[in-house]
Protein backbone atom coordinates (compact mmCIF):
# COMPACT_ATOMS: atom_id res chain seq x y z
CA UNK A 1 0.00 0.00 0.00
CA UNK A 2 2.88 2.33 0.79
CA UNK A 3 4.41 1.64 -2.62
CA UNK A 4 1.09 2.33 -4.32
CA UNK A 5 0.68 5.65 -2.51
CA UNK A 6 4.24 6.59 -3.38
CA UNK A 7 3.64 5.63 -7.01
CA UNK A 8 0.61 7.94 -7.24
CA UNK A 9 2.46 10.79 -5.49
CA UNK A 10 5.56 10.49 -7.68
CA UNK A 11 3.44 10.21 -10.83
CA UNK A 12 1.40 13.34 -10.03
CA UNK A 13 4.47 15.26 -8.86
CA UNK A 14 6.30 14.54 -12.11
CA UNK A 15 3.32 15.45 -14.29
CA UNK A 16 2.89 18.83 -12.57
CA UNK A 17 6.42 19.88 -13.53
CA UNK A 18 6.86 21.45 -16.94
CA UNK A 19 8.01 24.36 -19.00
CA UNK A 20 6.20 27.30 -20.56
CA UNK A 21 4.89 25.31 -23.54
CA UNK A 22 3.48 22.63 -21.25
CA UNK A 23 1.62 25.08 -19.02
CA UNK A 24 0.38 27.09 -22.02
CA UNK A 25 -0.96 23.89 -23.60
CA UNK A 26 -2.68 22.74 -20.42
CA UNK A 27 -4.01 26.25 -19.79
CA UNK A 28 -5.56 26.45 -23.25
CA UNK A 29 -7.21 23.07 -22.73
CA UNK A 30 -8.43 24.25 -19.32
CA UNK A 31 -10.19 27.26 -20.87
CA UNK A 32 -12.07 24.99 -23.30
CA UNK A 33 -12.97 22.63 -20.44
CA UNK A 34 -14.47 25.54 -18.47
CA UNK A 35 -16.51 26.49 -21.54
CA UNK A 36 -17.64 22.87 -21.82
CA UNK A 37 -18.86 22.85 -18.22
CA UNK A 38 -20.87 26.02 -18.80
CA UNK A 39 -22.70 24.77 -21.91
CA UNK A 40 -23.20 21.36 -20.30
CA UNK A 41 -24.93 23.12 -17.39
CA UNK A 42 -26.95 25.15 -19.90
CA UNK A 43 -27.95 22.02 -21.80
CA UNK A 44 -29.04 20.17 -18.68
CA UNK A 45 -31.04 23.04 -17.23
CA UNK A 46 -32.78 24.19 -20.41
CA UNK A 47 -32.88 20.81 -22.15
CA UNK A 48 -31.69 19.51 -25.51
CA UNK A 49 -33.69 22.26 -27.20
CA UNK A 50 -30.47 24.33 -27.07
CA UNK A 51 -28.95 21.86 -29.55
CA UNK A 52 -29.76 21.46 -33.23
CA UNK A 53 -31.18 17.98 -32.74
CA UNK A 54 -34.86 17.39 -33.45
CA UNK A 55 -37.42 14.60 -33.36
CA UNK A 56 -36.41 13.76 -36.94
CA UNK A 57 -32.63 13.87 -36.32
CA UNK A 58 -31.95 12.89 -32.75
CA UNK A 59 -28.28 11.89 -33.20
CA UNK A 60 -25.95 14.66 -34.28
CA UNK A 61 -22.49 16.00 -33.52
CA UNK A 62 -22.22 14.20 -30.17
CA UNK A 63 -23.00 10.76 -31.52
CA UNK A 64 -20.80 11.37 -34.57
CA UNK A 65 -17.83 12.03 -32.30
CA UNK A 66 -18.72 9.04 -30.14
CA UNK A 67 -18.62 6.70 -33.13
CA UNK A 68 -15.35 8.20 -34.37
CA UNK A 69 -13.61 8.01 -30.99
CA UNK A 70 -14.50 4.35 -30.53
CA UNK A 71 -12.41 3.81 -33.65
CA UNK A 72 -9.54 5.87 -32.25
CA UNK A 73 -9.62 3.74 -29.10
CA UNK A 74 -9.60 0.54 -31.14
CA UNK A 75 -6.73 1.92 -33.25
CA UNK A 76 -4.38 1.60 -30.28
CA UNK A 77 -4.19 -2.13 -31.03
CA UNK A 78 -2.03 -1.27 -34.06
CA UNK A 79 0.77 -0.70 -31.53
CA UNK A 80 0.02 -3.47 -29.06
CA UNK A 81 -0.44 -6.27 -31.61
CA UNK A 82 2.92 -5.84 -33.43
CA UNK A 83 4.64 -5.37 -30.07
CA UNK A 84 3.46 -8.65 -28.54
CA UNK A 85 2.56 -10.82 -31.55
CA UNK A 86 5.60 -10.05 -33.70
CA UNK A 87 7.94 -8.84 -30.92
CA UNK A 88 8.60 -5.61 -32.81
CA UNK A 89 11.24 -3.92 -30.67
CA UNK A 90 10.31 -0.35 -31.61
CA UNK A 91 6.62 -0.98 -30.94
CA UNK A 92 7.24 -2.85 -27.69
CA UNK A 93 9.07 0.18 -26.36
CA UNK A 94 5.99 2.38 -26.85
CA UNK A 95 3.16 -0.15 -26.45
CA UNK A 96 2.10 1.31 -23.11
CA UNK A 97 1.66 4.73 -24.76
CA UNK A 98 -0.93 3.17 -27.08
CA UNK A 99 -2.80 1.88 -24.05
CA UNK A 100 -2.79 5.38 -22.56
CA UNK A 101 -4.35 6.67 -25.81
CA UNK A 102 -7.04 3.97 -25.64
CA UNK A 103 -7.90 4.96 -22.06
CA UNK A 104 -8.23 8.64 -23.03
CA UNK A 105 -10.37 7.85 -26.08
CA UNK A 106 -12.80 5.67 -24.11
CA UNK A 107 -13.11 8.40 -21.47
CA UNK A 108 -14.06 10.85 -24.24
CA UNK A 109 -16.59 8.34 -25.59
CA UNK A 110 -18.18 8.16 -22.14
CA UNK A 111 -18.34 11.95 -21.94
CA UNK A 112 -20.09 12.14 -25.31
CA UNK A 113 -22.63 9.66 -23.97
CA UNK A 114 -23.28 12.06 -21.09
CA UNK A 115 -23.50 14.99 -23.51
CA UNK A 116 -26.02 13.18 -25.68
CA UNK A 117 -28.37 12.25 -22.84
CA UNK A 118 -31.17 14.61 -21.96
CA UNK A 119 -31.26 13.08 -18.48
CA UNK A 120 -27.72 12.04 -17.41
CA UNK A 121 -29.09 11.01 -14.01
CA UNK A 122 -30.68 8.02 -15.75
CA UNK A 123 -27.33 6.70 -16.98
CA UNK A 124 -27.34 4.11 -14.21
CA UNK A 125 -29.97 2.17 -16.18
CA UNK A 126 -27.21 1.22 -18.63
CA UNK A 127 -24.89 -0.24 -15.97
CA UNK A 128 -24.59 -4.05 -15.91
CA UNK A 129 -26.42 -5.94 -13.15
CA UNK A 130 -27.99 -2.91 -11.43
CA UNK A 131 -29.23 -1.23 -14.60
CA UNK A 132 -32.60 -1.75 -16.21
CA UNK A 133 -32.00 -2.13 -19.93
CA UNK A 134 -32.93 -4.79 -22.43
CA UNK A 135 -29.81 -6.95 -22.21
CA UNK A 136 -28.80 -9.09 -24.09
CA UNK A 137 -31.25 -7.97 -26.80
CA UNK A 138 -30.16 -4.31 -26.63
CA UNK A 139 -27.20 -3.57 -28.91
CA UNK A 140 -26.58 -0.42 -26.86
CA UNK A 141 -26.24 -2.64 -23.80
CA UNK A 142 -23.57 -4.70 -25.58
CA UNK A 143 -21.78 -1.50 -26.61
CA UNK A 144 -21.64 -0.26 -23.01
CA UNK A 145 -20.36 -3.67 -21.91
CA UNK A 146 -17.52 -3.94 -24.44
CA UNK A 147 -16.42 -0.32 -23.98
CA UNK A 148 -16.33 -0.66 -20.20
CA UNK A 149 -14.39 -3.90 -20.52
CA UNK A 150 -11.90 -2.36 -22.94
CA UNK A 151 -11.28 0.56 -20.58
CA UNK A 152 -10.65 -1.80 -17.65
CA UNK A 153 -8.35 -4.07 -19.70
CA UNK A 154 -6.20 -1.18 -20.92
CA UNK A 155 -6.06 0.41 -17.48
CA UNK A 156 -4.92 -2.86 -15.87
CA UNK A 157 -2.38 -3.73 -18.59
CA UNK A 158 -1.01 -0.21 -18.95
CA UNK A 159 -0.65 0.71 -15.30
CA UNK A 160 0.58 -2.74 -14.26
CA UNK A 161 3.37 -2.43 -16.85
CA UNK A 162 4.25 1.05 -15.54
CA UNK A 163 4.08 -0.23 -11.96
CA UNK A 164 6.63 -2.95 -12.73
CA UNK A 165 8.92 -0.42 -14.40
CA UNK A 166 8.50 1.94 -11.43
CA UNK A 167 9.30 -0.67 -8.76
CA UNK A 168 11.81 -2.66 -10.80
CA UNK A 169 9.78 -5.86 -10.38
CA UNK A 170 9.57 -8.42 -13.22
CA UNK A 171 6.28 -8.65 -15.11
CA UNK A 172 4.19 -11.68 -14.18
CA UNK A 173 3.71 -12.94 -17.72
CA UNK A 174 1.47 -15.86 -16.63
CA UNK A 175 -1.52 -13.56 -16.24
CA UNK A 176 -0.27 -10.39 -17.99
CA UNK A 177 0.10 -11.90 -21.47
CA UNK A 178 -3.34 -13.59 -21.52
CA UNK A 179 -4.82 -10.24 -20.51
CA UNK A 180 -2.94 -8.50 -23.34
CA UNK A 181 -4.30 -11.02 -25.87
CA UNK A 182 -7.82 -10.56 -24.54
CA UNK A 183 -7.41 -6.78 -24.91
CA UNK A 184 -6.22 -7.18 -28.51
CA UNK A 185 -9.27 -9.24 -29.47
CA UNK A 186 -11.50 -6.94 -27.41
CA UNK A 187 -10.30 -3.94 -29.44
CA UNK A 188 -11.93 -5.43 -32.53
CA UNK A 189 -15.13 -6.09 -30.60
CA UNK A 190 -15.69 -2.49 -29.49
CA UNK A 191 -15.88 -1.11 -33.00
CA UNK A 192 -17.71 -4.13 -34.37
CA UNK A 193 -20.45 -3.76 -31.75
CA UNK A 194 -20.59 0.02 -32.35
CA UNK A 195 -21.09 -0.71 -36.06
CA UNK A 196 -23.84 -3.20 -35.19
CA UNK A 197 -25.44 -0.49 -33.05
CA UNK A 198 -26.44 1.42 -36.19
CA UNK A 199 -26.31 -1.27 -38.91
CA UNK A 200 -29.05 -3.34 -37.25
CA UNK A 201 -31.72 -0.69 -37.92
CA UNK A 202 -33.81 -1.75 -40.97
CA UNK A 203 -35.60 1.60 -40.96
CA UNK A 204 -32.30 3.38 -41.76
CA UNK A 205 -31.31 2.07 -45.23
CA UNK A 206 -28.03 4.01 -45.33
CA UNK A 207 -26.74 2.04 -42.35
CA UNK A 208 -28.52 -1.25 -42.89
CA UNK A 209 -25.84 -3.38 -44.55
CA UNK A 210 -23.28 -5.96 -43.45
CA UNK A 211 -20.28 -3.97 -44.73
CA UNK A 212 -20.56 -1.44 -41.91
CA UNK A 213 -18.38 -3.32 -39.34
CA UNK A 214 -15.63 -3.81 -41.94
CA UNK A 215 -15.72 -0.11 -42.85
CA UNK A 216 -15.56 0.82 -39.19
CA UNK A 217 -12.51 -1.32 -38.48
CA UNK A 218 -10.70 -0.14 -41.64
CA UNK A 219 -11.23 3.53 -40.73
CA UNK A 220 -10.31 2.84 -37.10
CA UNK A 221 -6.97 1.37 -38.11
CA UNK A 222 -6.33 4.45 -40.26
CA UNK A 223 -7.51 7.30 -37.99
CA UNK A 224 -6.14 5.82 -34.73
CA UNK A 225 -2.56 5.36 -36.02
CA UNK A 226 -2.65 8.84 -37.60
CA UNK A 227 -3.24 10.36 -34.18
CA UNK A 228 -0.61 8.08 -32.65
CA UNK A 229 1.96 9.11 -35.28
CA UNK A 230 1.28 12.78 -34.54
CA UNK A 231 1.65 12.12 -30.81
CA UNK A 232 4.93 10.24 -31.35
CA UNK A 233 6.38 13.04 -33.47
CA UNK A 234 5.43 15.60 -30.80
CA UNK A 235 7.03 13.40 -28.13
CA UNK A 236 10.23 13.06 -30.16
CA UNK A 237 10.47 16.82 -30.66
CA UNK A 238 9.56 17.93 -27.14
CA UNK A 239 10.90 15.27 -24.75
CA UNK A 240 14.03 13.20 -24.24
CA UNK A 241 12.10 10.03 -24.96
CA UNK A 242 12.96 8.66 -28.40
CA UNK A 243 10.37 6.81 -30.47
CA UNK A 244 12.14 4.56 -32.98
CA UNK A 245 11.79 5.32 -36.67
CA UNK A 246 10.76 1.70 -37.23
CA UNK A 247 7.65 2.17 -35.06
CA UNK A 248 6.50 5.27 -36.94
CA UNK A 249 7.19 3.68 -40.34
CA UNK A 250 5.20 0.56 -39.43
CA UNK A 251 2.26 2.71 -38.32
CA UNK A 252 2.50 4.65 -41.59
CA UNK A 253 2.29 1.39 -43.54
CA UNK A 254 -0.78 0.34 -41.54
CA UNK A 255 -2.45 3.70 -42.21
CA UNK A 256 -1.74 3.48 -45.94
CA UNK A 257 -3.25 0.00 -46.32
CA UNK A 258 -6.28 0.63 -44.11
CA UNK A 259 -7.01 4.03 -45.64
CA UNK A 260 -6.93 2.43 -49.10
CA UNK A 261 -9.35 -0.28 -47.96
CA UNK A 262 -11.65 2.32 -46.39
CA UNK A 263 -11.72 4.34 -49.61
CA UNK A 264 -12.43 1.22 -51.67
CA UNK A 265 -15.36 0.28 -49.42
CA UNK A 266 -16.78 3.81 -49.47
CA UNK A 267 -16.58 4.09 -53.27
CA UNK A 268 -18.01 0.58 -53.66
CA UNK A 269 -21.04 1.61 -51.64
CA UNK A 270 -21.51 4.68 -53.84
CA UNK A 271 -21.53 2.54 -56.99
CA UNK A 272 -23.90 -0.10 -55.57
CA UNK A 273 -26.37 2.42 -54.14
CA UNK A 274 -26.48 4.88 -57.02
CA UNK A 275 -26.12 2.58 -60.04
CA UNK A 276 -29.76 1.56 -59.79
CA UNK A 277 -31.00 4.26 -57.44
CA UNK A 278 -34.04 3.46 -55.32
CA UNK A 279 -35.64 5.37 -52.47
CA UNK A 280 -33.27 3.51 -50.13
CA UNK A 281 -30.37 5.45 -51.63
CA UNK A 282 -31.86 8.86 -50.82
CA UNK A 283 -29.72 9.28 -47.70
CA UNK A 284 -26.50 8.81 -49.66
CA UNK A 285 -27.82 10.92 -52.54
CA UNK A 286 -28.61 13.74 -50.09
CA UNK A 287 -25.09 13.47 -48.67
CA UNK A 288 -23.45 13.64 -52.12
CA UNK A 289 -25.68 15.99 -54.10
CA UNK A 290 -28.46 17.25 -51.82
CA UNK A 291 -32.16 16.41 -51.77
CA UNK A 292 -35.13 18.67 -52.48
CA UNK A 293 -32.82 21.69 -52.53
CA UNK A 294 -31.26 20.88 -49.13
CA UNK A 295 -27.47 20.66 -49.44
CA UNK A 296 -26.10 21.28 -45.96
CA UNK A 297 -23.89 18.17 -45.85
CA UNK A 298 -22.72 18.15 -49.46
CA UNK A 299 -19.55 20.21 -48.77
CA UNK A 300 -18.78 17.92 -45.81
CA UNK A 301 -18.92 14.81 -47.98
CA UNK A 302 -16.79 16.11 -50.85
CA UNK A 303 -14.37 17.70 -48.39
CA UNK A 304 -13.93 14.31 -46.70
CA UNK A 305 -13.43 12.55 -50.05
CA UNK A 306 -10.81 15.09 -51.16
CA UNK A 307 -8.96 14.88 -47.84
CA UNK A 308 -8.94 11.07 -47.77
CA UNK A 309 -7.92 10.56 -51.40
CA UNK A 310 -5.26 13.29 -51.23
CA UNK A 311 -3.79 11.91 -48.03
CA UNK A 312 -3.79 8.38 -49.49
CA UNK A 313 -1.83 9.60 -52.51
CA UNK A 314 0.64 11.40 -50.24
CA UNK A 315 1.13 8.27 -48.14
CA UNK A 316 2.01 6.37 -51.32
CA UNK A 317 4.89 8.77 -52.07
CA UNK A 318 8.05 7.50 -50.24
CA UNK A 319 9.65 10.96 -50.09
CA UNK A 320 6.66 12.19 -48.05
CA UNK A 321 5.87 8.99 -46.15
CA UNK A 322 9.44 8.68 -44.86
CA UNK A 323 9.98 12.38 -44.23
CA UNK A 324 8.95 12.98 -40.61
CA UNK A 325 8.71 16.73 -41.21
CA UNK A 326 6.13 16.27 -43.99
CA UNK A 327 4.41 13.19 -42.54
CA UNK A 328 2.09 15.22 -40.24
CA UNK A 329 0.40 16.75 -43.33
CA UNK A 330 -1.19 13.52 -44.69
CA UNK A 331 -1.83 12.32 -41.11
CA UNK A 332 -3.89 15.43 -40.28
CA UNK A 333 -5.68 15.24 -43.64
CA UNK A 334 -6.58 11.56 -43.21
CA UNK A 335 -7.66 12.08 -39.58
CA UNK A 336 -9.91 15.02 -40.52
CA UNK A 337 -11.33 13.25 -43.58
CA UNK A 338 -12.23 10.12 -41.61
CA UNK A 339 -13.74 12.25 -38.83
CA UNK A 340 -16.08 13.84 -41.37
CA UNK A 341 -16.84 10.65 -43.34
CA UNK A 342 -17.44 8.52 -40.28
CA UNK A 343 -19.10 11.21 -38.21
CA UNK A 344 -21.29 13.90 -39.74
CA UNK A 345 -21.08 12.17 -43.12
CA UNK A 346 -22.49 8.90 -41.78
CA UNK A 347 -24.67 9.57 -38.76
CA UNK A 348 -26.75 12.56 -39.92
CA UNK A 349 -27.70 11.38 -43.46
CA UNK A 350 -28.88 8.11 -41.91
CA UNK A 351 -31.87 10.11 -40.65
CA UNK A 352 -32.58 11.80 -44.00
CA UNK A 353 -35.23 11.12 -45.09
CA UNK A 354 -37.05 9.70 -42.07
CA UNK A 355 -38.87 6.34 -42.30
CA UNK A 356 -42.08 8.24 -43.11
CA UNK A 357 -40.39 10.34 -45.81
CA UNK A 358 -39.76 13.62 -43.96
CA UNK A 359 -36.73 15.57 -45.18
CA UNK A 360 -35.18 17.98 -42.71
CA UNK A 361 -31.65 19.25 -42.09
CA UNK A 362 -29.48 19.43 -39.01
CA UNK A 363 -27.29 22.33 -37.92
CA UNK A 364 -25.10 21.94 -34.82
CA UNK A 365 -25.53 24.91 -32.49
CA UNK A 366 -22.84 26.86 -30.66
CA UNK A 367 -23.65 24.82 -27.55
CA UNK A 368 -22.89 21.59 -29.39
CA UNK A 369 -19.66 22.88 -30.93
CA UNK A 370 -18.32 24.25 -27.64
CA UNK A 371 -19.30 21.14 -25.71
CA UNK A 372 -17.62 18.99 -28.37
CA UNK A 373 -14.44 21.08 -28.30
CA UNK A 374 -14.45 20.93 -24.51
CA UNK A 375 -14.72 17.14 -24.45
CA UNK A 376 -11.86 16.84 -26.94
CA UNK A 377 -9.87 19.27 -24.78
CA UNK A 378 -10.59 17.19 -21.69
CA UNK A 379 -9.50 14.06 -23.56
CA UNK A 380 -6.21 15.65 -24.61
CA UNK A 381 -5.78 16.95 -21.05
CA UNK A 382 -6.05 13.38 -19.72
CA UNK A 383 -3.88 12.04 -22.56
CA UNK A 384 -1.14 14.58 -21.82
CA UNK A 385 -1.11 13.59 -18.14
CA UNK A 386 -1.05 9.87 -18.93
CA UNK A 387 1.64 10.14 -21.61
CA UNK A 388 3.89 12.45 -19.61
CA UNK A 389 3.77 10.22 -16.54
CA UNK A 390 4.32 7.08 -18.61
CA UNK A 391 7.31 8.62 -20.40
CA UNK A 392 8.79 9.66 -17.05
CA UNK A 393 8.59 6.07 -15.82
CA UNK A 394 9.94 4.60 -19.07
CA UNK A 395 12.91 6.98 -18.92
CA UNK A 396 13.60 6.09 -15.29
CA UNK A 397 12.91 9.62 -14.06
CA UNK A 398 10.07 8.27 -11.88
CA UNK A 399 11.35 5.36 -9.86
CA UNK A 400 10.53 3.89 -6.46
CA UNK A 401 13.09 4.87 -3.86
CA UNK A 402 14.81 7.38 -6.13
CA UNK A 403 16.36 10.40 -4.43
CA UNK A 404 14.34 13.60 -4.67
Summarised one tens digit per residue, pLDDT across range 354-376 is 888 888 888 899 999 999 999 99
**Which whole-number Å values give the CA distances from 195 to 113, 288, 320, in the listed order?**
16, 22, 33
Total structural domains within the chain: 1
Flag whether the pTM goes above 0.85: yes
Please work out, in degrees rounded to the nearest 5, the angle formed at the alpha carbon of residue 218 by the alpha carbons of 216 and 223. 90
Summarised one tens digit per residue, pLDDT across range 152-175 is 999 999 999 999 988 888 888 899
Residue 24 confidence (pLDDT): 95
- pLDDT above 60: residue 403: no
Q: Greater confidence, 175 or 123?
A: 175
For range 108-125, the mean pLDDT: 81
For range 67-90, the mean pLDDT: 89
- The contacts of residue 19 (CB under 8 Å, 6+ apart) are none
d(CA 5, CA 15): 16
Length of the chain: 404
| Percentage of the residues of the chain whose pLDDT score is greater than 90 | 44
Q: How confident is the model at residue 258 (pLDDT cuts 50, 70, 90)?
A: very high
Summarised one tens digit per residue, pLDDT across range 207-236 is 888 888 898 999 999 999 999 999 999 999
Residue 241 confidence (pLDDT): 86
Domain enclosing residue 262, as ranges: 58-394
Q: What value does the mean pLDDT of the chain take?
A: 88
Residue 401 confidence (pLDDT): 65
Summarised one tens digit per residue, pLDDT across range 314-347 is 999 999 999 999 999 999 999 999 999 888 888 8
Residue 21 burial class via C-beta count within 10 angstroms: exposed 0-12, middle 13-18, buried 19 and up: exposed
Q: How confident is the model at residue 259 (pLDDT cuts 50, 70, 90)?
A: very high
d(CA 164, CA 179): 16
Q: Greater confidence, 301 or 136?
A: 301
**Does the residue 14 lie in any domain?**
no
Q: How confident is the model at residue 5 (pLDDT cuts 50, 70, 90)?
A: confident
d(CA 186, CA 178): 12
Q: What is the CATH number of the domain that holds 298?
A: 1.20.1630.10
- The contacts of residue 114 (CB under 8 Å, 6+ apart) are 40, 120, 123
Q: How confident is the model at residue 39 (pLDDT cuts 50, 70, 90)?
A: very high
d(CA 297, CA 345): 7
Amino acid sequence: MQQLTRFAADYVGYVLKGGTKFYAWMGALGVLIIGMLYVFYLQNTEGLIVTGMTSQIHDGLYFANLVFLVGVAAGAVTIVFPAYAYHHEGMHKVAVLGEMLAISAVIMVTMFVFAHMGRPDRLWHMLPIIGIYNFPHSMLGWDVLVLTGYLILNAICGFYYLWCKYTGQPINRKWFMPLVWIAIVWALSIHTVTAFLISTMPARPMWFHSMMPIRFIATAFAAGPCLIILAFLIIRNNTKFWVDDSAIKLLTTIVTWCLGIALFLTLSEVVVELYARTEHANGLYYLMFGLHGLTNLVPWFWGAVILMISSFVLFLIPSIRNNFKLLPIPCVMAFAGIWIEKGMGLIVPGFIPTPIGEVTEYYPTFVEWLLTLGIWAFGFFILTILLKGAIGILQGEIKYGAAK
